[in-house]
Structure formats: C-alpha cells, structure tokens
Amino acid sequence: MARIVVTGGAGFLGSHLCESLLKDGHEVIAMDNLVSGRTENLDGFFHHDRFTFYEHDVTEFVHVTGNVDWVCHLASLASPVFYQDHPIKTLKVGALGTHKTLGLAKEKDAKYLFTSTSEVYGDPEVNPQPEDYRGNVDPYGPRSCYDESKRYAESLIRSYRDQHDLDVRVARVFNTYGPRMRLDDGRVVPTFLRQALESEPLTVHGDGSQTRSFCYVSDLIAGLRALMDADVQTPINIGNPDERTIQDLAEVVIDVTDSDSDIVYEGRPEQDPDIRKPDLSKAREHLDWEPSIPLREGIERTKVDIAKKSHQRDQQDEICK
C-alpha cells in the first residue's frame, strides 16, 4: 500500500484518480480549494477509511504529516470558462502550486506525477502531435494563462528532476470527458449533452471542421496509472487518437440522446486550435497502454451523469421558486 497525495482531488480527473487508487488498496490524501472542484465528486468514497480530504489551496504551503510515496499534482482550472474567469489563479497553481508540491515530494523523497496538457502544443502545425514537437503557443494570447502555466510547470519539474534527482512523471493529457464534469464546465462534451437533453440548439463554434481527440475518463486514468508504474521521466501523451470534427461530435450527441435539437453556428473563440490529435507511439512502447472506449460508448456513459445533474438542478430550481 502506498500513501498518495492528490491535488485537485475533488475535480473531474482528480476524483477519478482518487477512486482508482483507493480501489487498489492505497491510502489517498486529497486536496482541493473547491474553485472548480466539487465535494459531491467524492461522495462514493468520502468516508472510506483510507481517504482524507483537505480543503486547501496548494499555492500556499503544503504540509502532510507522515510518509508520502507519491505526490500527484492534478490541481488546475482546465476549462476555458474557469481559467478565463480566474487567469491569475490559473497561473499561480501552475507556478506556485507546482513549486509547493515539488517541495513536498522532495521533503518526503516521494515520486511525482504531473498532469500537463495537449495545450502545450498550442495551435499545432504538425498532426498528430509527438512529444518532441515544441508547439505553436502565443505566450501573450487569450489562452496563455492556462498554456503557459503548464509549460512553466513542465520546466520546473525538469529542473527538480535534474537538480534534486526527483523521480518525476509528466502526462500531457488530451481532451478527456466522462462522468463528474460540471454542467457549467464549458467544455464541449458536457455542453452538447446538456443542450441535447434539454432540446436546446447545440452551439458549434465556427463551421465545426476543427478537430479534437476525445478520451473517456477511465481510459485516461488507466494511462496515468500505467505511467506511474513505468520508468519514463520525460513527457508522454495520454489521450485518444480517434480524431473527430466538432460537427461530427454534435451529430453523435444528438443521435445518442435521440434529441430533436438543431445545430447552430457561432463565432470561434480567438486562437481556438484547428487540430488536436496525440501521437501515442511513446505510450504504446513504454506504457503498453492505449485507450479502448469508443466515442459513442463514452458519450452514452456520460449522458447518464449529465441527465442526472440536469434533473437535480431543475429540482433545486423548483425548490427555490
């Protein structure tokens, strides 16, 4: 049994990682400042005897008593809705939060896992994106608070690895979806599902020809766990190479939900990337991992969770009237 700290533990990815670790017999200490994370994500295991939760902002000093085997730094404002509302918090969790959690790992002689992002590649000029692609990022652009927070964090992790011989893992996470995403998350899968279930028009930005590669959350967590078990101290892509247009995604969602929603087209956000697809050669070679959940199956699974959240919101609205 390992003793593992997970920052961002009440978030979408963080809560799934906590649950996976608990199922395998580990002790988990989760931290979250609850800016975007929600304690209801922890309902299934909050009272587990090997789980502890602290409401804490990891940009402040992080202290954990006793031994620690792993520090998993997942805290971040990953949705454009949240990171554009909180750009300074986003930068601080990438810079100060990474510094504080690296310091904890160094103090405890623990291994360190960081969830970076495909956004370090910016609006890529090569497709698919391999880990040695240096990216096409605007450091002063409208998305820079998120992109640069992750790029800086990767550099800081590399420096701790080299100067302090810290055992590190860096996962570049591509678009992930699944249960526990918020209705107001702003990312395309929960937005489309909510709109379709409520018979609202699905809002596609631009003409819908831009592509993304959607990875179901259980596949993503399996990839992170495989990375923790491997000995790869350089960044590695974790995602699904099934590249889809946003138009295609909208049509799949309408079909899965049997919705009568129309598709409407709006202007694209500034510097919205045209393409996104991971090169998984490194993950296949070093982790013996690749995703297995097809898009339609993942959308079916996510639909159930979004429908439940939508129903709960409607009930709460009725109570408040």
Q: Where are the beta strands (DSSP E) in 108-241?
A: 111-117, 168-173, 176-177, 202-205, 211-213, 215-216, 236-238
The number of beta carbons lying within 10 Å of the beta carbon of residue 43 is 10
- What would the two tokens of residue 308 be? 């439940």
The number of beta carbons lying within 10 Å of the beta carbon of residue 277 is 22
The number of beta carbons lying within 10 Å of the beta carbon of residue 246 is 22
β-bridge mates for residue 264, sequence order:
203
To the query of whether residue 146 is one of the catalytic residues in this protein, the response is: yes
Residue whose C-alpha is closest to residue 6's, from 24, 27, 23, 25? 27
Q: What three-state secondary structure class fits 230?
A: coil
Q: Of these residues, 121, 146, 160, 216, which one is catalytic?
A: 146
d(CA 40, CA 54): 14
d(CA 168, CA 71): 10
Q: What three-state secondary structure class fits 153?
A: helix
Residues with a known catalytic role? 146
